[in-house]
Amino acid sequence: MTLNPHRKYRTATEMVHAGAQRSPYGEVCEAIYLTQGFTYPSAEAAERRFDGEDPGFVYSRYANPTTDMFEKRMCALEGAESARALASGMAAVSTAILCFVKAGDHFVAARSMFGSCRYIIEKVLPRYGVEVSIIDGRKIENWEKAIRPNTRGIFFETPANPTLEMVDIKAVSELAHKVGATVIVDNVFATPLYQKPLELGADVVVYSTTKHIDGHGRCLGGMILSSEEWMTENLQDFFRHTGPGMSPYVAWLMLKSLETLPLRVEEMTRSAAKLADFISGHKAVAKCIYPGRDDHPQRDIVKKQMTGGSTMIAFELKGGKKAAFSFCNHLTIPLISNNLGDTRSIMTHPATTTHQSIGPEARAELGISDGLLRFSVGLEDVDDLLEDVEQALNATL
Ligand SMILES: *Cc1c(COP(=O)(O)O)cnc(C)c1O
């Protein structure tokens, strides 16, 4: 059967079924359409396809049936009208920004962000004549001061990588819309299950689907979601002619992963909450930041816009870099790596890996100390994780 398009189903149901389109063979599992393009029954049919009278597929750089199923399932999850799948999270971030800004525009971004996002905004945009302000996004006053009449775009992550700092999506969107700016939210850390930026007033949501959405550490991917109007006016032609789209094979893997996304993320969040409580109370730990705990420094914003605590924990060891390295080297279950949202628990030392290139001054500004660790909690038994973290913390004392 197919879902009734006029009815709204609950998330778990939609993640198994939404967007599925069966070929005449009636396959159970969605088909992988590994084809560069499409053929037409007649010259007249080709003409109609190209002038848009007939809405079918023409070329996989524009759209592909397998990728389309993944995009439709993501629309159901996000509550968005339109979506485009891209080759990586960074393809999504850069395309979402570059498709609409032009020389003379002003752009504002919150400074706590993924290193590659910072590169696009700080280094690439000025080369094209876009003026950029990078601010501390935690306080709404900073946004008030930074936004100008010619501000055309706004970008932020919330919770941010790796410090789990929050930005108030609703308040920033209201300010941005007074000057007609587009608000883009990188929602990777919250996942579409726990935070819905479009409902809170943002215009565009981007994901690295490499993270929780693939969730098995297999492949890279990205997604841009927005209203139909924003997509048609800003992204559609840019996307078609620059060619950053996702391969149909990867889209199929992502589609399979969406079937278990709610199960995985909810279980990982339950474990993360237990681990955060344990880590906060351990004497080797200077501080522990977890959006699901009442001692999160911006607990009021978390409560307003997130419905779950997330699968990510940040914590700082009293013994600095030496303790952080010793802790990582004593772990037997979490991998030392830099992915997140994976079924496998992953421990990252941002100062020497993901945030090494930004330099010590920028790290200090962002609160990324040498003792800070980022913990992506996986699907292992939580008691095994607790025991492993405990012995590794004890070894640093
Ligand atoms: C990983 C990540 C990206 C980039 O995604 P890729 O798939 O690695 O290109 C962007 N933003 C955030 C918050 C991320 O965690």
Question: What pLDDT tens digit does each residue of the chain (397 aa) get?
Answer: 678 888 889 999 999 999 999 999 999 999 999 999 999 999 999 999 999 899 899 999 999 999 999 999 999 999 999 999 999 999 999 999 999 999 999 999 999 988 899 999 999 999 999 999 999 999 999 999 999 999 999 999 999 999 999 999 999 999 999 999 999 999 999 999 999 999 999 999 999 999 999 999 999 999 999 999 999 999 999 999 999 999 999 999 999 999 999 999 999 999 999 999 999 999 999 999 999 999 999 999 999 999 999 999 999 999 999 999 999 999 999 999 999 999 999 999 999 999 998 899 999 999 999 999 999 999 999 999 999 999 999 999 9
Nearest CA, atom 15, ligand 1: 188
**How far is residue 337's CA from residue 119's CA, in Å, rounded to a whole number?**
22
Which residues touch 274 (CB under 8 Å, ≥6 apart)? 382, 386
**How far is residue 93's CA from residue 223's CA, in Å, rounded to a whole number?**
9
Encode pLDDT of 249-284 as tens digits: 999 999 999 999 999 999 999 999 999 999 999 999
Domains of the chain: 11-258 (3.40.640.10), 261-394 (3.90.1150.10)
pLDDT value of residue 189? 97
Nearest CA, atom 8, ligand 1: 89
112, 113, 116, 376: residue to mutate for ligand 1 pocket, most atoms within 8 A of CB: 116
**How far is residue 185's CA from residue 202's CA, in Å, rounded to a whole number?**
7
**How far is residue 130's CA from residue 101's CA, in Å, rounded to a whole number?**
7
The DSSP element (H or E) to which 12 belongs, if any, is helix 11-17
Nearest CA, atom 5, ligand 1: 89
Quote the ligand 1 centre to 211 CA distance (angstroms): 8
Cβ < 6 A, ligand 1 pocket: 88-90, 93, 114, 116-117, 157, 161, 186, 188, 208, 210-211, 220, 222
Please give the single-letter amino acid code of residue 237. Answer: D
**How far is residue 82's CA from residue 197's CA, in Å, rounded to a whole number?**
14
Quote the ligand 1 centre to 26 CA distance (angstroms): 36
pLDDT value of residue 5? 83
Q: Answer whether 0.75 is exceeded by the pTM.
A: yes
DSSP string, 307-326: SS--SEEEEEETTHHHHHHH
**How far is residue 178's CA from residue 201's CA, in Å, rounded to a whole number?**
12
**How far is residue 320's CA from residue 226's CA, in Å, rounded to a whole number?**
42
93, 114, 213, 253: residue to mutate for ligand 1 pocket, most atoms within 8 A of CB: 114
HSE (side-chain half, CA atoms, 13 Å) at 70 = 31
Residue 61 in tokens: 């750089």
Quote the ligand 1 centre to 90 CA distance (angstroms): 6
pLDDT value of residue 67? 98
Encode pLDDT of 326-363 as tens digits: 999 999 999 999 999 999 999 999 999 999 988 999 99
pLDDT value of residue 336? 98
pLDDT value of residue 6? 87
Residue 192 and residue 307 in contact, taking contact as beta carbons nearer than 8 Å: no
pLDDT value of residue 213? 98
Quote the ligand 1 centre to 212 CA distance (angstroms): 11
Q: How far apart are the first and last CA of the chain?
A: 59
HSE (side-chain half, CA atoms, 13 Å) at 79 = 16
Q: Which atom of ligand 1 is least distant from the CA of 188?
A: 13
Q: Supply angle C-alpha 307, 336, 306, rounded to 5.
A: 5
pLDDT value of residue 357? 87
Q: Which atom of ligand 1 is least distant from the CA of 339?
A: 1
Which residues touch 286 (CB under 8 Å, ≥6 apart)? 316, 317, 318, 371
Residue 326 in tokens: 């010793």
